[in-house]
Amino acid sequence: MRLTSKGRYAVRAMLDLTVNSNGNPVRLQEISNRQNISLHYLEQLFRRLRNGQAVKSVRGPGGGYVLARSMDEITVKDILDCVGENINPAKDIIGSEAETANTPEFHISKDYFQNLGVIMKEYLQTTSLGDLIRKSREKDLGGRPDAPTDTPEPKPGYNMGTPI
């Protein structure tokens, strides 16, 4: 049930990209410096994120990465799925020694953790990058979602350059 550093770093990097993109490509070196995540590790994560169609890469001078869809269309679950993160709390129960014991306690706990997995999946599926950014801004503005911000709303995609 543990979320690994791979999943946490991928979400952090995607949030960084969302906040700092403003429709322009962001270099992984910039994300690496801001988030204190190894550049080599980010390259591996972004390869998976690109293959999962969460980001697009832009070649050439001024190149880097942009979101492949709007920040409201990319969920935390999408990001975790792209990098191969599995946080199902019941994954270790199926096929375990306790299952062969076939006790009522096993079935009660198995049902509980399977239900928890469904709730977690729904929460991750309904939380987008945009939701997280807006919640952060509300918190920074004293809970006022309508207060003006200095940070412009990130724009999806990139109009110039050649996406890979």
Q: What is the pLDDT of residues 74-119, one digit of tens each?
A: 999 999 999 999 877 776 666 656 556 678 888 888 889 889 989 9
pTM: 0.79
Which of 110, 105, 81, 108 lies closest to 95 in space, CA to CA? 110
State how far Cα 18 lies from the chain centre: 11
What total of structural domains would you count in the chain?
1
Q: Please check whether residue 106 lies inside any domain of the structure.
A: no
For 24, the domain range is 5-87+129-140
User: Mean pLDDT of all residues in the chain?
Assistant: 84
Structure tokens at 11: 């979400």
Query: Is the predicted pLDDT of residue 25 greater than 90, yes or no?
Result: yes
Q: Is there a domain that residue 74 lies in?
A: yes
Query: Which segments of 22-82 does DSSP mark as H helices, in order?
Result: 28-35, 39-51, 76-82
Determine contact, residues 86/6, Cβ cutoff 8 Å: no
Distance CA 15, CA 9 (A): 10
Q: Is residue 114 part of a domain?
A: no
- Residue 129, both tokens: 């990058």
